[in-house]
A = this chain, B = another copy of it.
């Protein structure tokens, strides 16, 4: 699994390439909140620039509950993209 955050996209692209080179066949990309768009970009950067046969095997969205204080809860959306080469 690669958790996509706010760093430059190429960091996550490189992380995925490393995993594929180690023999992984599938990688789960996961991102929360504002980083969700980064996550989609990473998937398509991989497909466009590195693995033209890359398949988007599954996409899931949902929300995590993040407990802030004792009684306050916040909801954060997430996306999970399963890619396979």
B-binding residues in A (CB < 8 A): 33-37, 40-41, 43-44, 48, 56, 59-63, 75, 77-79, 81
Contact = CB atoms under 8 A, between A and B. Distances in A.
A75 B37 contact: no
Given A36-B37, A37-B36, A40-B36, A59 B56 contact: no
Copies of this protein in the complex: 2
A61 B37 contact: no
Contact of A37 (B35, B48, B62): B35
- In this complex, which of A77, A79, A81 has the most chain B Cβ atoms within 10 angstroms of its Cβ? A77
7 nearest CB pairs, A to B:
A36-B37, A40-B77, A59-B59, A44-B63, A41-B77, A40-B61, A34-B37
